[in-house]
Amino acid sequence: MNLTINNLSKTYSNGVQALDNVSLTIPNGLFGLLGPNGAGKSTLMRTIATLQEADEGEVWLDNIDVLQQKHEIKQILGYLPQEFGFYPKDRAISLLDQLSMLKGIKNKTDRRAVVEYLLKKVNLWDARKQRIGTFSGGMKQRFGIAQALLGNPKLIIVDEPTAGLDPYERRRFHNLLAEIGKDVIVILSTHIVDDVSNLCTNMAIIDNGKILLQTHPGEIIKEFVAKIWEKDVTGVNMEDFEKEYHVISTRLFAGKIFVRVFNETDPGEGFRSVEPILEDVYFYTLSTRS
């Protein structure tokens, strides 16, 4: 199964062009849509989820016209938005039961079985009678995944799912997404590079509504071998430094400032070659966008 996006564009009434001729082909598995805040990620996700209209373009899930056959796509779509709304006094088991009814699971016995299965899958069965308003951020996100899995969806969209989670909950959420993404299309929209690096076999970088790069993370990193250099620049005038070198990122470590630069050959001047990571690809791509 493939999700095919062709020439998708969207301009809001305030004149902001959120999507600019976006085209992507997304296969089964975990697909990372990586970009800074305001890049157009959420607009693209909401459009695919049929929650808003595009100005131009088309989206196909195999032979389903996503933008025209909205009822059909909603039957096989799981969606976890950036902000998942719920009534804080609802208990997890009762809310998921209500949502399963809305998803079309009418038989009470079937609903009970599905709700139990999903709450156990996301490790919330022991908290099933707890009010959702008392859940931690990670627990809320795991409940959001449970509702997104109702109805055995073929396409799952998760929008900024790990923002605000602590490292333990992030890892737990990663493991859950990795398990889910074995047999369906899962689109992970995020600005966190590590989420894509750890999880996704395919990815794209988006900024200002345009797709800057679509690639396989492992393959694109290989292209940056022997081209990323690092140096301690503590006390250096960065304005002059950036005029001389293609700086792609800076980091603070043990009170010192280190820069990573892109250069085809050894720039000398105390730089050392470092192994490239996906973050280098991301920042380089953003820095060279037209």
Q: Tell me the domain boundaries of the chain.
A: 1-76+153-216, 85-148, 226-274
> What is the DSSP pairing of strand 17-27 with strand 29-34?
unpaired
The answer to whether 288 touches 207, Cβ cutoff 8 Å, is no
Q: How far is residue 161's CA from residue 149's CA, in Å, rounded to a whole number?
A: 15
Do the Cβ atoms of 233 and 251 come closer than 8 Å? no
Under 8 Å between Cβ of 32 and 196: yes
Q: Which residues of 121-147 are buried (b: 16+ CB within 10 A; e: fewer)?
A: bbebeebeeeebeebeebbbbbbbbbb
| This prediction's pTM | 0.90
**H or E element in which residue 241 lies:** helix 238-244
Question: Residue 271 in contact with residue 233, Cβ under 8 Å?
Answer: no
Residue 262: how many other CB atoms lie within 10 Å: 21
Confidence (pLDDT) at 167: 87
Q: pLDDT exceeding 90 applies to what percent of the chain? A: 76
pLDDT of residue 290: 55
Rounded-to-integer distance, Cα 201 and Cα 145, Å = 20
Contact criterion met (CB below 8 Å) for 259 and 228:
no
CA distance 201 to 187: 11
Which residues of the chain fall below pLDDT 50? none
What does the alpha-carbon distance between residue 286 and residue 290 come to, in Å, rounded to a whole number? 9
CATH fold of 1-76+153-216, please? Answer: Rossmann fold (3.40.50)
- The secondary structure of 61-87 as a DSSP string is ETTEETTT-HHHHHHTEEEE-SS----
